[in-house]
Amino acid sequence: MHRRNLLTLLITVASIFSLASCLKPGNNNGSNNNTTPQSGLFIIHASADAPTMDIYANNGQINTQPFGYTNNSQGYLAMNSNIYLFNFTRYGSTTNLVSQTDSLGDYKDYSLILYDSLADLKLMYILDDFASTVPVAANIRFFDLCPNLPSMDVYLDTIPIYTGRTFADNLQNQALDTFIQESAQSHVLTLRFPYHGSTATFQSTVPLYQGKIYTIYASGFAGGLDSLSLKINVAQNY
């Protein structure tokens, strides 16, 4: 299992972490003479029409830069193992747009994903298990976070890697949180789904590197324009 050597940066109500310069995965096993059990938290903003955010954990702000759509924490934040109330507010405001309480276990890693439309914002909380990942390939998983798409099949180049994927379906099937292995190279990722009675497709080129771990997700809205339109995003967990 890939684990991190999380530095002795602890989150308290007074701590402020920059999401632009997060800790990188290493060996999260309590070494470095750190006696406080720690956890790693990877955060993604995947709601196309939600505003730029501030993020609070137990009333302590954990971003120092605006956290906007398609941003991610670029690594795992080192946090004390604890129960946290996560609040996402409009940037510069303290009014919560969505909140959720979750527990971070000792020496475990989690993803916290903001998704769905602004009118129905949600937080997805996932225990990240790297047991299936390998250093000789690229390791990926795919999430459908586009609220108004029908069922889709996902192809990497010409090979189907997922079939019948639906909006946030990994919440009902935790096996979809697992990382799978693909060759380390640039691939064309294609979404195929019925649209007005025919099979429509949406494609994007995704570069994948050996030994890296990625969360790939579809976001935006089918039929949307500009920044709200459907897109494929690649977030590198590690």
Coil/strand/helix, residue 144: strand
For residue 226, the model assigns a pLDDT of 81
Q: Both 203 and 117 in a single domain? A: no
* pTM given for the model: 0.86
More confident residue, 113 or 28: 113
Give the pLDDT confidence of 9-63 residue by residue, as tens digits. Answer: 333 333 344 554 444 444 454 444 556 889 999 999 999 999 999 999 998 999 9
Which domain-ending residue is among 72, 100, 128? 128
More confident residue, 18 or 124: 124
Q: Are 213 and 136 in contact (CB under 8 A)?
A: no
Give the pLDDT confidence of 174-201 residue by residue, as tens digits. Answer: 999 999 999 999 999 999 986 655 667 8
Q: Both 58 and 151 in a single domain? A: no
Q: Both 120 and 50 in a single domain? A: yes
Q: Both 12 and 118 in a single domain? A: yes
* CA separation, residue 123 to residues 26, 133, 186, 230 (Å): 26, 25, 30, 20
CATH number at residue 219: 2.60.40
Domain that holds residue 66: 1-128
**CB under 8 Å to 221, separation ≥6 — which residues?**
48, 49, 117, 146, 147, 148, 228, 229, 230
Which domain-ending residue is among 128, 155, 181? 128
Coil/strand/helix, residue 170: helix
Give the range with max mean pLDDT: 4-18, 109-123, 193-207, 224-238.
109-123
Mean pLDDT, the chain, whole residue set: 86
Cα–chain center distance at 170: 12
Q: Are 39 and 80 in contact (CB under 8 A)?
A: yes
For residue 31, the model assigns a pLDDT of 43
Give the pLDDT confidence of 66-98 residue by residue, as tens digits. Answer: 999 999 999 999 999 999 999 999 999 989 999
Q: Both 63 and 174 in a single domain? A: no
